[in-house]
Amino acid sequence: MKWSCSNPEQDTFVLGDNVDVHETAARQEIRLLRRKLTANQNLPFCWSELARNFLIVGKQDKAVRCMQAALQLAKHNRYLCRAATRLFVHVKDPGQALYLLRSEPTIKSDPWLLAAEIATSSVIGKQSQFLDAAKRLMTSSDFKDNEITELAAAVGTVELSHGVAKHAKALFNRSLRAPTDNSLAQAQWAAERDTKIVIPVSAWKTPASYEAKTLLSRQARNWPDALQACAAWLTDEPFSIRPALIGSYIGFRPESYVMAEQFASAGLRCDPTNVGLLNNRAVARAYQGKIKEAYTDVRVALNQMPARDNPHLMATLGLIAFRSDMPDLGRECYKQCIAWFSDAKERSSVAVAILHLSREEIRIDRSSIPRSIEMAERITKLPVAMQQPEIIGMAELLLEEAHSATTPYQASHGLGVVAPASSNDIQHYASLFHVPDKAKQLALRLGDFSGIM
């Protein structure tokens, strides 16, 4: 669903150098809306916009209170109900979102509310209570194609997830007759999983379809276009964490490190403790030589207990150790996290970690180039690589760097790199991770990783 007061008109958009732009505009809007509400508090849509802008500046509690005020003033308003649903999901309270939707007297007869309820149920891994009502509604002649599109996409997503591909295809075909930006993004997600779902060319004329275009370019491994579309998506929905996460992850090439950092920083304005964003920013910063800032991001993330169960963060600590001229410590962190991923059967993460480690190995030791090239070529042929474009993209980058590698340590020695902490300090933070015993044992047996893939 959309909850935005501005839509970029351009087809592509480059993220600006100043990640404060969204926060500055939001703070100005907050002052304006507060003045309006001081004069007249009975303006539910002003309260809703105030909530949206508080989200942008990371004031989640204030955003919730403002949205509650809006709902009190305009009960059973479809727009506000869907906007509130989006807010509650954003603040990690999908249960409240479902309670609100299911309390609506028109929930069984309104396709827009039904679509939101089905999507929100999926967020918590539950099946909607109203799937039968949704299917009955789609057989009704009371609704136009543009009114049923998001409901058809929501039910199609459920059907595809349950393996009912034939029904899913029919539902997505229905949703694509008059798609919204949301239903088009769902269709692109589905098309990546079932080649029988085909998006017509006309659908790409849908206004503000930045999320769908991001996914399309990502699937094609067109990283510049993916980043531009993702930047437009973030500009359209600056309170949303998802474009920030995706943008900071797909910016893995050297020419995109600055942009990846900007994506993560923009997302952290709305959610300052998001471990995924802190990790992605740390990676982008480490690759730029901002070792101290990268180390700070990792330490901030590790102040949260759940982060200590995150092997991705341990891999990033390994990267920081490599870039601090502590290759043995970096190698040990990578071995631990690769074993951890393997133990959890996260094969895509195993591949990504091996690629990141191999990039560091060829940077400091030319003798590792043949082995790294062989590993990268093997990874590109794995089934998991076919499902995750970034894996192939990272393997291609590794091959480029392997073929152009120069003298050992050239990227580090002589450039004034200063370690952000002692090896003992980095080892201390590495010890905070809750690595399973089985993974620790596997790490001790790991050699060149050929058997783990």
**Rounded-to-integer distance, Cα 415 and Cα 22, Å:** 35
**Rounded-to-integer distance, Cα 252 and Cα 265, Å:** 16
Residue-wise DSSP of 301-319: HHTSGGGGG-HHHHHHHHH
Dig out the tokens for 15 from the structure: 């993220």
Q: Provide the CATH number for the domain formed by 21-207 in this structure.
A: 1.25.40.10
Q: Is the separation of the CB atoms in 146 and 110 below 8 Å?
A: no
Residue pLDDT, tens place only, 118-152: 999 999 999 999 999 999 998 888 999 999 999 99
Amino acid at 90: H
Confidence of residue 452 (pLDDT cuts 50, 70, 90): low
**Rounded-to-integer distance, Cα 305 and Cα 308, Å:** 6
pTM to 2 decimals?
0.90
SS3 414: coil
SS3 173: helix
Residue pLDDT, tens place only, 403-435: 886 544 444 433 456 788 889 999 999 999 999
Mean pLDDT on 219-241: 94
**Rounded-to-integer distance, Cα 71 and Cα 96, Å:** 13
Q: Is the pLDDT of residue 6 over 80?
A: no
Q: Is the pLDDT of residue 2 over 60?
A: no
SS3 318: helix
Mean pLDDT on 160-168: 93
Residue pLDDT, tens place only, 340-365: 999 999 999 999 999 999 999 999 99
Q: How far is CA 445 from CA 162, 337, 358, 381, in A?
A: 38, 13, 18, 25
